[in-house]
Structure 1
Amino acid sequence: MLCRTHSTSSYLRKLDTIITDFTFNLHVKYISSLKVAWRKDPKLDRAIENDKRYKLCARVVREVLNEPGQVIPLRYLEKRRQRMRLHDKAKTFLSRNPGLFDQYYDRIKPKTDPLLFLRASNRLKKFLDEEERIFKENEPLIVSKLCKLLMMSKNNVISADKLLHVKREFGFPNEFLVSLVPRYPQYFRLIGCPGEGKSFLELVSWNPEFAESVIERRAKEEARLTGIRVRPNFNVKLPPGFKLKKGMREWVRDWLELEYISPYEDASHLDQASREMEKRTIGVFHELLSLSLYKGIPVPILGKFSDDYRFSNEFSSAFTRHSGIFYLSLKGGIKTAMLREAYRDDKLIDRDPLLEIKDKFVELLEEGWRQRAEQLRLRREQIKRDTEVLAMKTSE
Structure 2
Amino acid sequence: MRFTAFFHRTTTTLPPPSHRQHLRTLFDGNFTLVRDRGLDHAVEREKNLKPLLNLRNLIKQEPSKSLPVSIIKESIQLPFRPMDFIRKYPSVFEEFYSNGKFDAHVRLTPEAVELDEDEGFMFKSELFKKQVADRLLKLLMISKIHKIPLRVLEGLRWDLGLPMDYVKTIIPEFPDYFRVIGMGDNAVLELVCWCKEQAVSVLEKKLGDKGKELAFPLQFSTGFEMDNKYEKWLKDWNKLPYVSPYENAGHLNASSDESDRWVVGVLHEIMNLLVSKKTEKDNVLMLGEWLGLASRFKRAILQHPGIFYLSSKNRTYTVVLREGYKRGFLIEDNPAMEFRRKYIHLMNTVKEDNKTDQDKVVKDKTSTKESKVKADEGKVGEGEREENHGEEKEEGEETELSDAEDEDASETIVDDDNEESARDTRRTSSNRRRRNFAEMKLNTEKPSRNFRRERSAEKLPRKTWEKNPSQVSNSKNIQMRGEHNDVKSSPQGSRSSKNRERLFTTKNTVV
Normalization by structure 2: what TM-score? 0.63
Secondary structure in 1 matching 2:226: coil
Structure-1 residue corresponding to 2:314: 332
Which residue in 2 is equivalent to 1:43?
38
From 88, 94, 107, the counterpart of 1:96: 88
1:207 to 156, 173, 195: 195
- Give the superposition deviation at 1:126: 0.9
How many Å apart are 1:171 and its aligned residue? 0.9
Is 2:170 the partner of 1:170?
no
Residue of structure 1 in register with 2:410 after alignment? none
How far apart, CA to CA, are the structure 2 residues paired with 1:78 and 1:382? 38
1:232 aligns with 2:224: no
**What is aligned with 2:67?**
72
SS in 2 for 1:313: helix
User: What is aligned with 2:109?
Assistant: 121
Please, which runs of 5 or more residues in structure 1 have no aligned partner?
1-10
CA–CA separation in structure 1 for the residues paired with 2:297 and 2:63: 40
Query: C-alpha separation between the residues in 1 aligned to 2:231 and 2:349?
Result: 50
Structure 1 match to 2:253: 271
The number of residues matched between the two structures is 364
Q: Which residue of 2 aligns with 1:357?
A: 339
- Say whether the 8 Å CA contact 1:186–1:204 is kept in structure 2: yes
Q: Cα distance 1:241–1:102, how it changes in 2: closer, same or farther (>3 A)?
A: closer
Q: Deviation at 1:150?
A: 0.8
Counterpart residue number, 1:139: 129
State how far apart, in whole Å, the 2-side matches of 1:114 and 1:127 are: 30
| Letter paired with 1:73 | P
Shift of 1:265: 1.5
Distance in 2 (alpha carbons) for counterparts of 1:334 and 1:377: 34
Q: CA contact under 8 A between 2:309 and 2:322: conserved in structure 1?
A: yes
Output the amino acid matched with 2:155. Answer: H
268, 283, 291: which is aligned to 2:265? 283
- Contact 1:190/1:199 (8 A) holds in 2: yes
Q: CA deviation at 1:101?
A: 1.9
Q: 1:361 to 1:192 in 2, by over 3 A?
A: same
TM-fit CA distance, 1:176:
0.7
Q: CA deviation at 1:141?
A: 1.0
* Cα distance in structure 1, aligned partners of 2:302 and 2:363: 53
Could you tell which deviates more after superposition, 51-60 or 144-153? 51-60
| Structure 1 residues 48 and 265: CA distance shift in structure 2, 3 A | same
The aligned counterpart of 1:148 is 138
Task: Give the distance between the partners of 1:238 and 1:300, measured in 2 at CA.
Answer: 24
Counterpart AA for 2:79: R
The one-letter code sitting in structure 2 at the alignment partner of 1:99 is S
Deviation per residue, 1:310-338 (Å, 9 max, x gap): 31524312112112111122223422221
Question: Distance in 1 between the 2:296 and 2:262 partners?
Answer: 15
Q: For the residues of structure 2 that align with 1:79 and 1:203, how far apart are their CA atoms?
A: 37
**Structure 2 equivalent of residue 241 of structure 1:** 223
Give me the whole-angstrom Cα distance separating, in 2, the residues matched to 1:56 and 1:167: 14
**Quick check: 253-262 or 239-248, which moved more?**
239-248
* Per-residue deviation, 1:64: 3.9
Query: In structure 1, what is the Cα distance between the partners aligned to 2:298 and 2:267?
Result: 10
1:316 and 2:298 are equivalent in the alignment: yes
Seen in structure 2, the aligned counterparts of structure 1 residues 381 and 42 have a Cα distance that, compared at 3 Å, is closer
Distance change (3 Å), C-alpha of 1:126 and 1:364? same
CA change 1:341–1:104 in 2 (3 A) is same
Partner residue, 1:84: 78
Decide whether the 8 Å contact of 2:34 with 2:222 is kept in 1: no
Equivalent position amino acid for 1:85 in 2: P
Higher relative contact order (CA 8 A, sep 6+): 1
Deviation at 1:53, TM superposition (A): 4.7
> What's the % identity of the aligned pairs?
25
State the alpha-carbon separation in 2 of the partners of residues 271 and 70 from structure 1.
57
Letter matched to residue 207 of structure 1: C
Determine if contact 1:298/1:334 at 8 Å carries over to the other structure: yes
2:324 partner letter: A
Secondary structure, counterpart of 1:304 in structure 2: helix
SS at match of 1:305: helix
Displacement, 1:140?
1.2
CA offset at residue 377 of structure 1? 4.3
Alignment check: 8 A CA contact 2:91 2:112 kept: yes
Q: Distance in 1 between matches of 2:298 and 2:64?
A: 41
Aligned to 1:233, the other structure's residue is in SS state coil
Per-residue CA deviations over 1:338-364 (Å, capped at 9, x if unaligned) read: 111222232222333421111221233
Change (3 A) 1:160 1:32: farther
Letter in 2 for 1:150: L
Q: 1:279: Cα distance to partner? A: 1.4
The Cα offsets for residues 68-121 of structure 1, whole Å up to 9 and x where unpaired, read as 75532223335679x3222xx4333333311212323236xxxx9951111222
Decide which structure has the larger Cα Rg and report it: 2
Q: Give the equivalent residue in structure 2 for 1:160.
A: 150
The yes-or-no answer on 1:31 pairing with 2:26 is: yes
SS in 2 for 1:118: strand
Distance of aligned partners of 1:34 and 1:366 in 2 relative to their CA distance in 1, 3 Å threshold: closer
TM-score (norm 1): 0.80
* Contact 1:72-1:117 at 8 Å conserved across structures: yes
One-letter code of the match for 1:252?
Answer: L
Distance, in Å, in 2 between the alignment partners of 1:331 and 1:360 is 22
Residue 153 of structure 1, CA deviation: 0.9
Change (3 A) 1:375 1:243: closer
Unmatched 5+ residue regions in structure 2?
Answer: 1-10, 380-511
Q: Secondary structure at the match of 2:185?
A: coil
Kept in 2, the 8 Å contact 1:98–1:372? The answer is: no
Deviation at 1:304, TM superposition (A): 0.8
**Given the superposition, is the C-alpha separation of residues 375 and 250 from structure 1 closer, same or farther in structure 2, using an over 3 Å criterion?**
closer
Verify: 1:58 aligned to 2:53, yes or no.
yes
**Residue 37 of structure 2 aligns to which amino acid in structure 1?**
P
